[in-house]
Each structure stands twice: as structure tokens, then as C-alpha cells.
């Protein structure tokens, strides 16, 4: 593992921007999704946002994955015990997997359900599966379950980072803040 | 890792006093509770009696039982194919490719309203024709039309309540007249719509029926101009009086099947052009009779196939699958239909399929 002296103090700028942009999109998406499926009057308008926003998230997630793999990441502070390191790695992996899987399943589900995949105006995407009713029903359920999983992962992620930042006070959040935070600013006692 | 070890790292300050730890933990907990609570609220968990697409489809299932693999409404049907020949007259109002002069393939489905897939046909059942137009640019226009010119209600909740009030009690098999009366006294628009519906007599079958799109939509042309419209299709066949009901439980379907076997059936697609001020969110009332009506082309139905083999069985005729150039109006029933049809599709697609009353053998007769 890289030592603290050679590793960057923050994630790459593009990654930090993508993190917050995607956080906003995903949170909006989760709320739109859960609201749309129980709404009669707003269903159509919410769905009209849900589809293109989902594809936007897929594109952002792929850019983010490549950027993440191409850049060095800041070391975890020593306040993170090894057991927690493993959980953090697994949850990061799971969240990236969900960012990509959820829109792909949505796209596949609409394809299997024989729906046109309308983005906006006359712009639409090709189907990625042949129409198959039973598969549609399965993918539709999977889409919901994974969305709930992502929402729970988001709550756990947010709670964990805030715990480190507010209670352990190891400047955990500064690794991902969009603005530049210098290492020399991280003095003992400073929050 | 112990606290002292942690404190040897860069940037970790001395531990917080216990009071501050508790306060900060409570802050994190509160944030989680607020976000999760909002999520639950938006997802309807805190308002269990609100009308949802699932509740609407549950009501259909309560009335009809769960008919595995079938549509929850318009359950009994047969699939057809054909084409639409556009005369180009619709192009001034809508930029959708379907209205450019030319021929567009169409798939569709004749059905009877109600959630019973094996009920005997009767002349007073509401008949439907659902169509899907697919243009070369890959866009789709799906429309579900019925043979009555107005819908009994204007609002989603009213539709649910009307359905409940007018359905026979599953135990006694009788409709509660008092419940219907109570609904009508609260809903003059429904009483007025039923009067319009009562004044018409059904025709002999599917082939000589007109079918109406019911809800208002908006056409948008190449210049971006927006026009409120409704549409209906008018049969080439002259309307004949209802035929004598026979012992054939499928007599309406058998009749249209025989007719398609002997030659294609045609309808003219008519667009009714709304004027400013015409209500677009009132499916229970008609626009004034003097509104301009444009014949935009003919729908020809030339082949028929059982749901048991046709891929059209699995198509959701969601009225809001629209090409660029046709938009939803402000009619709340449109979004409701879209949401409920989607719920119906999700349920039936995951169920075991039972052969249709209109079997492959029935269609080949």
C-alpha cells in the first residue's frame, strides 16, 4: 500500500466532480423512481425524466469507472482499521456495480417488455434484448430490489463518512470535497 | 486499532468528550431518519390509502379474480395485423412520421372490456381496438380505443370508485343500485356521459364499430405549433344492428375472424381539431359537434391470430407511447392508464400463461 507521503490527499478532480454530480443524479433518480411507481397522475412525467436520467447516469458511471482505474487514490487515514478497509473496498465496488447495473437493467427490462426506449423528442435507443415477457417481469423486480439496495448503500456510505468526519475527525470527507484541501491544513484538532 | 494508535496518524485530533460524540451521532442518525422518511413518504408507504397503480389493478383483481397471464382489463381478445395508409392530411398538425403520406405497418388487438378472459360475448360489452403504428424512423404510436365516444369519468379516483360501485358483488353477483345512485348523485359528469352512452345502440360486431381515443392529446407540427386533438376511427362497413346472440360464447370474435378471412377490414382515422378553450382533461364529455374533423388515412386490418401465438399478446398498448409530434394533454386519466397498464403488464408477464378463449383453432375456423 502506498504511504501517506507519496499518495495524493484527494481523489482526482474529475472523480470528485463526478462523485457529487452523480450523487445528485442518483438521489434524484431514486426518489423519482420510488415516487413514480406509486403515482397515477405524475407517472408519465416522472418516467419521461427517469429514462434519460438513467442513461445519463450510465454514461457518467462508465466515465467515472475509467477515471477511477486510471488515477491514484488517496490513502485511507490510519484511523480506519483493516476490517473497515475491507468493508469500504467492497461497498465501493458494490456501488460502482449498482451505478452501472441499474440503468443497464432498466434498458434491458424495457427491451424485454417490448417498449420503445424513448429518450427525448424523437431520440430513442435500440433494444438490447428481444421481447421476452417472463424475463421482463424478472428484470422489473430486480430493478426495484437493486434500487432499494443502492438507497441503503447510500445511507450507509453517508453515515460512515460523516462518522469519520464528525466523530473520528480524520478529515475523511476532504478526500472527496470538490475544492482543493491541502494536507498541511490537516492539523490535529482541526475539523 | 486503539485510540492512541489512531491518534498517531496524521490529522486525527484528541477524542471528543462523550457528550459531543452523542450529539454528533444523533445528528447523523437524524439525517438518516429524515432522508429515509422522505423516501418512504415519496414512495407512498406513509399514505397506504392513496390511489396507486397497484391499488387500481388490485381492484380489477378483486372484481375478476386473478386471471393468470391475462390483461387485467380487456382480458378477452384476439390479435390482428395490417397497415395504415396515411394521406398526408395530418402532417400540417403533427410532425410525426406516421402522418407523412405513405404506408406504416400496424399490429393490433380486438378485445372486450372487463377482466374475464373466458366470459361469453354479449352485444352490450364495450369493444376495444388497440393499435400500434411503427414507422421507419423506429418511433411508435400506441393507442387503445373503445367503441363509446365518452368515458364515464374524468378523474383517476372517480374511475376507481365508479369501478367499485358498478361491479357486481362477487358473492351475490348483483350490482348495488344504491351505490351506483350515490356515485351518480355526486358525479353529474358521469350521469351525463351515461346518458350519451345510453342513447347509442351497439352495432353487429367489431368490424362495423367506430372506436374512439377518448382522451385528448396534443399534436405538434414541424413549426412547433401545438393543437389539442382527439381521434376516432370510422368503419367502411355500414353499421348493422346487433346480431341475435347465439350459444357461441365467442360469437363476436368468430364473426370478426370470419370477416378478416374473407377480406381486409378498413377504418378511416379521423382527427378532431380542438379550439382554444375546449377542455382537454374531460374524457367524460365530447367537444362541440362542429369541430373540424380531418380524415388522415385508412387503417386496414388484414390478418388475425390467436393470443396463444401472437407476440402482440405481450404488447402494452400504453396510450402514452407516442412519437415526437404527439403529446399527452393535461388529462390525468392518460398518466393513470399508462401507470395501470404497466402494472398489469408486469403482473401478467410474470405469470403462467393459460390458453386464450380465442384459440389458434378458433382463429383458423
> For residue range B31-63, what is the model confidence (pLDDT) as tens digits?
999 999 999 999 999 999 999 999 999 999 999
CATH number of the CATH domain containing A156:
1.20.950.20
A134 closest CB neighbour out of B14, B31, B350 = B350
Domain assignment present for residue A190? The answer is no
Domain assignment present for residue A3? The answer is no
B62 labelled catalytic: no
B10/A78 Cβ within 8 A: yes
Domain assignment present for residue A181? The answer is yes
What is the model's pLDDT at position B245?
65
State pLDDT tens for residues B98-113: 999 999 999 999 999 9
A136/B345 Cβ within 8 A: yes
Domain assignment present for residue A43? The answer is yes
What is the model's pLDDT at position B282?
97
* Residue B140 pLDDT > 50: yes
Task: Name the nearest CA neighbour of B129 among B211, B73, B201.
Answer: B211
Q: Is the dihedral of CA B40, B41, B47, B50 positive or negative?
A: negative
Rounded Cα gap, residues B82 and B267, in angstroms: 11
Domain assignment present for residue A191? The answer is no
B340 to chain A: which residues are within 8 Å by CB? 40
Domain assignment present for residue A8? The answer is no
* Residue B201 pLDDT > 90: no
State pLDDT tens for residues B339-362: 999 999 999 999 999 999 999 999
* Residue A190 pLDDT > 70: no
Rounded Cα gap, residues A17 and A12, in angstroms: 9
pLDDT band per the 50, 70, 90 thresholds, residue B3:
very low
B315 to chain A: which residues are within 8 Å by CB? 114
As a whole number, the mean pLDDT across chain B is 94
Domain assignment present for residue A69? The answer is yes
Which position has the grid cell 400463461?
B353
Rounded Cα gap, residues B7 and B15, in angstroms: 9
Q: How many domains does chain A have?
A: 1
CB within 8 Å of chain A, chain B residues 195-214: none
Domain assignment present for residue A1? The answer is no
The contacts of residue B294 (CB under 8 Å, 6+ apart) are: B89, B90, B93, B270, B271, B273
Under 8 Å between Cβ of A165 and A171: yes
Question: Is A24 an interface residue toward B (CB < 8 Å)?
Answer: no
Which of B74, B160, B187, B261 is flagged as catalytic?
B74
Under 8 Å between Cβ of B158 and B140: no
Rounded Cα gap, residues B327 and B304, in angstroms: 30
Residue range of the domain that includes A171: 13-185
Amino acid at each position: 500500500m502506498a504511504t501517506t507521503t507519496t499518495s495524493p490527499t484527494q481523489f482526482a478532480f474529475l472523480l470528485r466532480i463526478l462523485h457529487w454530480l452523480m450523487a445528485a443524479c442518483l438521489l434524484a433518480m431514486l426518489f423519482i423512481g420510488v415516487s413514480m411507481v406509486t403515482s397515477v397522475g405524475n407517472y408519465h412525467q416522472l418516467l419521461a425524466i427517469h429514462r434519460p436520467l438513467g442513461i445519463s447516469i450510465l454514461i457518467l458511471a462508465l466515465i467515472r469507472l475509467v477515471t477511477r482505474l486510471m488515477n491514484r487514490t488517496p490513502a485511507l487515514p490510519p484511523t480506519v482499521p483493516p476490517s473497515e478497509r475491507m468493508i469500504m473496498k467492497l461497498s465501493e465496488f458494490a456501488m460502482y456495480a449498482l451505478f452501472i447495473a441499474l440503468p443497464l437493467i432498466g434498458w434491458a427490462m424495457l427491451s424485454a417488455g417490448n417498449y420503445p426506449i424513448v429518450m427525448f423528442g424523437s431520440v430513442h435507443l435500440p433494444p438490447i434484448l428481444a421481447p421476452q415477457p417472463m424475463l421482463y417481469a424478472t428484470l422489473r423486480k430486480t430493478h426495484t430490489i437493486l434500487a432499494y439496495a443502492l438507497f441503503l448503500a447510500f445511507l450507509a456510505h453517508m453515515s460512515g463518512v460523516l462518522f469519520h468526519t464528525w466523530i473520528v475527525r480524520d478529515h475523511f470527507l476532504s478526500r472527496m470535497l470538490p475544492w482543493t484541501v491541502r494536507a498541511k491544513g490537516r492539523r490535529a484538532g482541526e475539523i | 486499532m486503539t485510540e492512541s494508535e489512531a491518534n498517531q496518524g496524521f490529522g486525527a485530533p484528541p477524542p471528543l468528550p462523550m457528550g459531543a460524540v452523542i450529539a454528533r451521532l444523533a445528528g447523523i442518525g437524524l439525517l438518516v431518519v429524515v432522508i429515509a422518511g422522505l423516501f418512504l413518504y415519496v414512495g407512498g408507504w406513509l399514505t397506504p390509502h392513496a390511489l396507486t397503480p397497484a391499488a387500481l389493478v388490485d381492484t380489477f383483481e378483486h372484481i375478476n379474480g386473478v386471471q393468470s397471464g391475462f390483461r387485467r382489463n380487456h382480458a378477452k381478445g384476439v390479435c390482428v395485423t395490417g397497415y395504415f395508409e396515411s394521406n398526408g392530411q395530418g402532417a400540417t398538425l403533427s410532425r410525426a412520421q406516421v402522418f407523412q403520406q405513405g404506408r406504416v405497418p400496424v399490429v393490433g388487438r380486438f378485445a372486450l372490456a372487463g377482466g374475464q378472459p373466458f366470459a361469453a360475448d354479449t352485444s352490450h360489452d364495450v369493444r376495444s381496438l388497440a393499435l400500434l403504428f411503427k414507422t421507419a424512423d423506429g418511433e411508435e404510436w400506441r393507442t387503445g380505443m373503445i367503441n363509446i365516444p365518452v368515458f364515464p369519468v374524468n378523474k383517476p379516483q372517480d374511475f376507481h370508485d365508479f369501478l367499485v360501485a358498478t361491479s357486481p358483488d362477487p358473492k351475490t353477483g348483483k350490482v348495488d343500485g344504491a351505490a351506483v345512485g350515490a356515485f351518480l348523485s355526486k358525479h353529474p359528469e358521469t350521469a351525463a356521459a351515461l346518458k350519451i352512452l345510453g342513447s347509442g345502440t351497439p352495432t353487429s360486431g367489431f368490424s362495423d364499430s367506430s372506436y374512439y381515443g377518448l382522451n385528448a392529446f396534443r399534436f405538434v407540427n414541424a413549426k412547433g405549433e401545438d393543437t389539442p386533438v382527439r381521434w376516432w376511427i370510422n368503419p367502411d362497413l355500414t353499421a348493422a344492428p346487433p346480431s341475435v346472440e347465439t350459444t357461441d360464447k365467442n360469437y363476436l370474435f368468430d364473426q370478426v375472424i370470419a370477416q378478416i378471412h374473407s377480406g381486409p377490414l378498413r377504418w378511416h382515422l379521423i382527427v378532431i381539431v380542438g379550439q382554444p378553450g375546449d377542455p382537454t382533461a374531460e374524457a367524460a364529455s365530447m367537444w362541440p359537434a362542429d369541430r373540424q374533423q380531418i380524415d388522415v388515412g385508412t387503417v386496414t386490418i388484414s390478418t388475425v391470430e390467436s393470443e396463444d401465438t401472437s407476440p402482440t399478446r405481450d404488447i402494452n398498448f400504453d396510450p402514452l407511447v407516442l412519437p415526437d409530434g404527439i403529446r399527452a394533454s393535461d388529462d390525468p386519466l392518460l398518466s393513470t392508464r399508462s401507470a395501470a397498464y404497466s402494472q398489469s403488464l408486469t403482473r401478467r408477464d410474470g405469470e403462467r400463461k393459460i390458453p386464450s378463449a380465442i384459440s389458434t383453432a378458433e382463429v383458423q375456423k
